[in-house]
Amino acid sequence: METPSPKHTCLKLQLKEAQQPIYVKGTWFESRFDLSITDGLNAWICHASEEQVRDRAAQWDQPVSEYVALAERYLGFQHPDSAYGFADAGDGHKRLSWTFEKEGTKLEWRWKCQPSPNSKQTTAAVLDFLMDANVGLSFLGVLNSKKAKLRELRDKISKQEIAGKLPEEEEASSDQTEPFVSSDEKSEDESLKDLPVTSKDVPRTRSRGRGRKRAADN
């Protein structure tokens, strides 16, 4: 069975207590996930292994897939009702945290992130992914706008074609219409046809006969 491809997210995360925003890139697998985080200068990484995710999910009485999906939900999109934090954890480490409510209880998840071995490379990878995503969204917006204009133009042309056909149909129907004759006129014509023909009705014509030439007297 083919392993599903991982999903990727990238979020500009606004932190609580007026901290500088950070950028969080997530790579999500079925039973684990990786995080790359940067503030534009420094970078941190977090590799949540299958064993770590399984232990955390067991603590919260959750299936592993549900735990990963919930983490992706809050780190793929910022939720205004959640308090996000990125606090110092000693030795250059950071602790990423976010809150959410479950069954009326406010809970907090935290993951420790270590300094990236190459901050410039990690930062460039995060920002490049974010720029590509924004370009893709912008292109999609332009494409949808063009599609809407094409649909509008198509509808306009269709209406013009329908409007142009109406006079032709009316003209064609008028050509095929027989002249109207009232019943009085018809009855009068028919009565004339039924009248007997007499000599008075026949016009007189003069017949011109040729005179015979007399034979010469012998």
The average pLDDT across 181-187 equals 46
Query: Using CA atoms, how far apart are residues 21 and 43, in angstroms rounded to an integer?
Result: 13
Question: Is the residue at 155 inside a domain?
Answer: no
Among 108-117, 127-136, 203-212, whose mean pLDDT is lowest?
A: 203-212
Which of 96, 65, 99 is closest to 81 using CA atoms? 99
Mean pLDDT score across all residues of the chain: 77
Total of domains in the chain = 1
What number is the average pLDDT over the span 24-46? Answer: 96
Q: What are the residues whose beta carbons fall under 8 Å from the beta carbon of 8, sequence distance 6 or more?
A: 25, 26, 27, 28, 129
- Candidate ranges 18-22, 105-109, 168-172; pick with highest mean pLDDT: 105-109
Residue 3's pLDDT is 77
Residues 4 and 19: their CA atoms lie apart, in Å, by: 36
Contact present, 131 and 51 (Cβ < 8 Å): no
Q: What domain range includes position 65? A: 7-125
In-domain check, residue 88: yes
Residue 199 lies in a domain: no
49 within domain boundaries = yes
d(CA 110, CA 100): 12
The answer on pLDDT for 209 being more than 50 is: no
- Domain for residue 185, yes or no? no
Mean per-residue pLDDT, 200-204: 44
Q: pLDDT for 62-104, tens place per residue? A: 999 999 999 999 999 999 999 999 999 999 999 999 999 888 8
Query: What CA–CA distance (Å, rounded) separates 137 from 139?
Result: 5
pLDDT at site 30: 95
Q: Within a domain: residue 78?
A: yes
| Predicted confidence band of residue 139 (pLDDT cuts 50, 70, 90) | low
Is the pLDDT at 143 greater than 80? The verdict is: no
Could you tell me if residue 101 is inside a domain?
yes
Residues whose CB is less than 8 angstroms from the CB of residue 94 and which lie 6 or more positions away in sequence, other chains included? 37, 44, 86, 87, 88, 112, 113
Q: Please choose, from the candidates 122, 91, 136, the residue with its C-alpha nearest in 3D space to the C-alpha of residue 24.
A: 122
- Which band of pLDDT confidence, cut at 50, 70 and 90, is reported for residue 164? low
- Give 23-33 pLDDT, tens digit per residue: 999 999 999 99
The pLDDT of residue 18 is: 64
Any domain includes 75: yes
Q: What is the CATH number of the domain that holds 118?
A: 2.170.210.10
State yes or no: pLDDT of 182 exceeds 90.
no
- pLDDT value of residue 135: 63
